[in-house]
Amino acid sequence: MSPIRKLLVIFPMCLVFTMPTRAWNNLRYSLDWGYMASMYQIYSYNYIAEEGFRVEQHGQDLYLNSNGVFKLFIGTQIGRHAELGIFSGYEGIRQDRRIVPLGLRTSWMFNGSDADGPICYAEGGAAFHKDCKTTAMGTAGAGWHVQLDHGCGMDFKVGLNVFEDHPAIMGVPKENLNKSDYTYGGISFTVGISF
């Protein structure tokens, strides 16, 4: 079993088994899907060229790339307004890079989870992908909760996203690459159904 699969199995089990008993009565699930646009990048890399000299570059620029977002959340309701739990899913951060995020999310529903109203949320954690070591990601945003029925609702959210990445540099052998750090900023629009 790969390290990613081990984490996807072990982390939720640890959270579930350490939850207080009354939290089981307040379990919440959410399925989110939507659109994410990476719009800004900051980069810093250096490598040894074939001729033997060091190439180093730092910069930032606008970078527009469209990607999809799919996340599953499981957590517990804390009081009438707050939720805390774990999430995972599948999303793109640039044209040729897809990640599997795993982290914590907290939400605050201003009118309570059983009424329509504004919400805000923050999430962060690790991001896994096949070509690179584990990286970090985070999102903070706001939206509107619509109560459909008792225990079922929809969330319309807008979030500001930050992703860290360490991609390979085209044409540079892996052993010559000393550093490749990229940070992407973007905005996401998601719709979630919770129950």
The residue whose two tokens read 């459909």 is 148
Give the 3-state secondary structure of the chain: CCHHHHHHHHHHHHHHHHCCHHHHHHEEEEEEEEEEEEEEEEEEEEEECCCCCEEEEEEEEEEEEEEEEEEEEEEEEECCCEEEEEEEEEEEEECCEEEEEEEEEEEEECCCCCCCEEEEEEEEEEEEECCEEEEEEEEEEEEEEEEEECCEEEEEEEEEEEEEECCCCCCCCHHHEEEEEEEEEEEEEEEEEEC
Calculate Rg over the CA atoms of the chain: 19
At residue 24, does pLDDT exceed 70?
no
Average of pLDDT values for 113-120? 92
Domains of the chain: 3-194 (2.40.160.20)
Cα–Cα dist 184/164, whole Å? 6
pLDDT band at 6 (very low <50, low <70, confident <90, very high): low
pLDDT per residue over 136-178, tens digit each?
Answer: 999 999 999 999 887 789 999 999 999 998 888 888 988 899 8
> What pTM did the predictor assign?
0.81
